[in-house]
Amino acid sequence: MKLSRAEYKEIVRWTDQLRPTRQCMKILKERFPNHSQSTLLSIFSLEYQKRIKRTISRHHAPDAIESHYQRYLSEAKAHPTAPVLLELANEVDLSPALMARIILDRFLQGLEGGVPSKIVLSSMLKEPSLIPDQILANNIYQCTINDCCYGPLVDCIKHAIGQEHEVLLCEKLKERNLSFLDENQLRVMGYDKTPDIILEVPIAVEGHIVHWIESKASFGDDHSHRTYLNEQFWSYWNRFGPGLVIYWYGFIGELDCQRDRGILLKDCFPTDIVTLSHAAQQDRLPQEPE
């Protein structure tokens, strides 16, 4: 779904009032019923991550960590069955999963007398039953399952969704009998930085030649698209020629302004595909690196 910049800013304005709990999506969906939940969640996640980047340093200050930890201990003692850590995270406007990591790290330091390894910390966040304190384990679990932007559960979901859309893209190409090389095949050939798909025979979409396709299971906002342009898309263009980016959850319509320079944006798999002559385009096909 393409959004005008005005529509996007209206959604962003509402996200500023919300915390990253799963209930926030119900609020957004009720306010913007014509937009898919996936699009709204992607926009909210992008905006919330920007908010966290601006404020996370103050929560990592030693005095802030100790204040959060002592507050947790006090609340957990008074209300051992309540999700006090989740409530504390929402109160101070910090991601529940990030708050869980801070508190667990502080707990393990007190238990072991030193800084815990990242492997131990990550394993306990993924599997709270490993935490040798049942009340803390329950609070960590509540933070993890109620955070829609950060944490091991969200990481797994994002990875799965990304894979799902790459598979969908491949299936769409096969349905059209289009020959292509996927990312794994290109890595075997020796490429280290490639788009998801290289077309062995280029196509034309809406009058624009396409040699490669990149799948993004997210919404394309100004910041993320600018980052992708600088770190991925322009390098693909330099190496393989013009290409297509699919933002499956939509993008700001005004960002689709690089078509004449060779980067086309879509929010779905294109339907008006024209296959170009293999011979005429042979010079643009990827060759095995020397």
| Residues with pLDDT less than 50, the chain | 278-285, 287-290
Identify the pLDDT of residue 277: 64
pLDDT at residue number 284: 47
- 279 vs 210: CA distance, rounded Å: 15
CA distance 238 to 259: 15
Give the span between the Cα atoms of 185 and 178, in whole angstroms. Answer: 16
Q: Which long-range contacts (CB under 8 A, 24 or more apart) does 101-108 make?
A: 101/125, 102/59, 102/60, 102/65, 102/68, 102/69, 103/68, 103/69, 103/72, 103/136, 103/139, 103/140, 104/131, 104/136, 104/140, 106/65, 106/66, 106/68, 106/69, 107/69, 107/131, 107/133, 107/136
Phi, psi values for residue 14, rounded to 5°: -75, -35
| pLDDT the model gives residue 288 | 45
Q: Can you tell me the distance from the alpha carbon of 234 to that of 263, in angstroms, rounded to the nearest whole number?
A: 8
> pLDDT per residue over 238-271, tens digit each?
999 999 999 999 999 999 999 999 999 999 999 9
Nearest 5°: the CA angle 238, 242, 243 is 115
What's this model's pTM, rounded to 2 decimal places? 0.87
Q: Which pLDDT belongs to residue 20?
A: 83
Q: Closest Cα partner for 47 from 86, 17, 26?
A: 17
Supply angle C-alpha 27, 42, 218, rounded to 5. 155
| Predicted local distance difference test score (pLDDT) of residue 130 | 96
pLDDT of residue 25: 86
